[in-house]
């Protein structure tokens, strides 16, 4: 296996990191890329608004998630876990012990590359790993990099690759922090921005109850794995379209869509804790099923953390099972969740069309398909799912 190791303070990780990491992974044909946040001595911490090691690791995880196909990029906290000073040579020794038969490559930008011979134990570093260097700025001289590569090969027998980035993004964490403190859009991936807002890092001090749609979306995406992002954006868009079609408030539909699955990846215990905290009463089936709980806990965070109104709360609350006598917004979010553009199953096109011509008939069809699917998989039907379906029959709506 060929493993790339990309160290940095990641305070915060930004689009310069992600584009360099992607290009290097491709050029080197890496099987795996580990992003390694470096230890920062406490006296170098920038201010009280700056991120803790745990927060830098978490932001790096968020940046790594979905960066390469098949989860090939990951954050690794090994330097943060180590006692005392942290040297790259020690990191590589640890990596070599972990991956004795694999080929290691250290990724770095120009500034680091140009001083590599002055690092602690450069001979150890260069014997354990190859070096892949890329230009951080259009002003970095390719000639100087070539000369440095030649020197390292000569003096240390180093393996060096100079990676040409298709597009150099001149971003630095300093710039990003400055932009954040001024309330400007930062050059970080949206989910990293969401994490920064949620934890009020770098002087953002956002009031989570008064976020713009863009900020709210960033927060929601930061709470779930990257594989769910397209679905959430699809539900947002579809819910807005259905609201416009049927005369519901598109802004409420948008906010419900954005937040509807924000607690999807919390485990059962975390879900139960939120339910206890906000006094959500559960039945036996719900107590055992994180899947049935995420709609209730998502609703709770939408209301109590993100300050959303009751309509949004209930639309999220009922989005998984539905219930008897649903409101217009509840139906819209239930159906948008079911048939947004990324959903693909037999009958989805029929359901999509019906959503724009007869909302109740669409709801009946969605519930029927859901009940059939759960039955086939041997999953017990929740009484609210059945209640939603029966209500439509009783009222002659499907």
* Residues contributing to the site for ligand DGI (CB under 6 A): 261, 264, 285, 289, 291-292, 295, 319-321, 337, 370, 374, 379-382, 385
142 contacts which partner out of ligand DGI, Fe ion, none, CB within 5 to 8 A by kind? Answer: none
Q: How far is the CB of 371 from ligand DGI (least distance, A)?
A: 7
- Which tokens belong to 40? 């920062």
Q: How far is the CB of 280 from ligand DGI (least distance, A)?
A: 16
374 contacts which partner out of ligand DGI, Fe ion, none, CB within 5 to 8 A by kind? Answer: ligand DGI
380 contacts which partner out of ligand DGI, Fe ion, none, CB within 5 to 8 A by kind? Answer: ligand DGI
Could you tell me the CA-to-CA distances from 221 to 18, 217, 230, 313, 333 in Å, in that order? 17, 6, 10, 18, 18
Nearest residue (CB) to Fe ion, 80 versus 280: 280
Nearest residue (CB) to ligand DGI, 125 versus 232: 232
381 contacts which partner out of ligand DGI, Fe ion, none, CB within 5 to 8 A by kind? Answer: ligand DGI
Q: How far is the CB of 141 from Fe ion (least distance, A)?
A: 50
Nearest residue (CB) to ligand DGI, 309 versus 380: 380
Nearest residue (CB) to ligand DGI, 92 versus 262: 262
Q: How far is the CB of 338 from Fe ion (least distance, A)?
A: 9
Task: Give the β-pairing of 160-163 and 73-75.
Answer: unpaired
76 binds Fe ion (CB under 5 A): no
337 binds Fe ion (CB under 5 A): yes
Is-cis flag, bond preceding 12, omega within 30?
yes
Nearest residue (CB) to ligand DGI, 19 versus 321: 321
**Contact by Cβ (8 Å): 74, 37:** no
Rounded Cα distance, 199 and 181, in Å? 14
11 contacts which partner out of ligand DGI, Fe ion, none, CB within 5 to 8 A by kind? Answer: none
Nearest residue (CB) to ligand DGI, 159 versus 264: 264
Only segment of 23-31, 58-66, 211-219, 336-344 that touches Fe ion (CB under 5 A):
336-344
Nearest residue (CB) to ligand DGI, 115 versus 375: 375
Q: How far is the CB of 228 from ligand DGI (least distance, A)?
A: 8
261 binds Fe ion (CB under 5 A): yes
- Which tokens belong to 148? 């440095």
Which residues of this protein are in contact with Fe ion, per CB under 5 A? 261, 337
């Amino acid at each position: 296996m060929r493993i790339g190791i990309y160290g940095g303070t990641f305070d915060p990780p930004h689009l310069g990191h992600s584009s360099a990491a992607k290009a290097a992974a491709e050029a080197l044909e890496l099987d795996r890329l580990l992003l390694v946040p470096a230890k920062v001595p406490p006296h170098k911490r920038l201010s009280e608004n700056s991120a803790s090691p745990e927060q830098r690791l978490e932001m790096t995880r968020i940046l790594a998630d979905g960066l390469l196909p098949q989860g090939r990029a990951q954050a690794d906290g090994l330097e943060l876990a180590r006692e005392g000073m942290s040297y790259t040579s020690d990191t590589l020794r640890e990596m070599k012990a972990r991956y004795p038969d694999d080929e290691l490559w250290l990724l770095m930008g120009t500034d680091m590359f140009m001083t590599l011979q002055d690092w602690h134990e450069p001979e150890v570093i260069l014997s354990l790993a190859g070096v892949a260097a890329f230009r951080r700025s259009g002003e970095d001289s390719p000639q100087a990099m070539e000369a440095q590569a030649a020197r390292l090969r000569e003096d240390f027998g180093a393996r060096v690759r100079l990676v040409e980035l298709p597009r150099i993004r001149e971003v630095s964490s300093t710039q990003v922090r400055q932009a954040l403190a001024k309330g400007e859009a930062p050059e970080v991936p949206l989910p990293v921005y969401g994490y920064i807002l949620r934890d009020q890092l770098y002087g953002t001090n956002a009031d989570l109850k008064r976020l713009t749609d863009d900020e709210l979306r960033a927060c929601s995406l930061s709470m779930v794995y990257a594989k769910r992002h397209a679905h959430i954006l699809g539900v947002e868009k579809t819910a807005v379209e259905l609201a416009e079609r049927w005369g519901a408030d598109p802004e409420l539909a948008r906010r419900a869509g954005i937040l509807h699955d924000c607690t999807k990846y919390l485990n059962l215990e975390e879900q139960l804790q939120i339910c206890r905290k906000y006094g959500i009463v559960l039945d036996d089936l719900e107590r055992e099923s994180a899947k049935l709980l995420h709609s209730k806990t998502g609703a709770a965070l939408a209301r109590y953390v993100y300050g959303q109104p009751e309509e949004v709360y209930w639309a999220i609350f009922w989005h998984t099972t539905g219930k008897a006598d649903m409101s217009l917004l509840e139906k819209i979010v239930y159906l948008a969740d079911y048939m947004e553009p990324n959903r693909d199953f037999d009958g989805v096109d029929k359901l999509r069309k019906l959503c724009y011509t007869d909302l109740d008939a669409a709801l009946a069809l969605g519930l029927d398909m859901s009940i059939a699917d759960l039955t086939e998989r041997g999953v017990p039907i929740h009484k609210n799912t059945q209640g939603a379906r029966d209500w439509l029959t009783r009222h002659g709506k499907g």
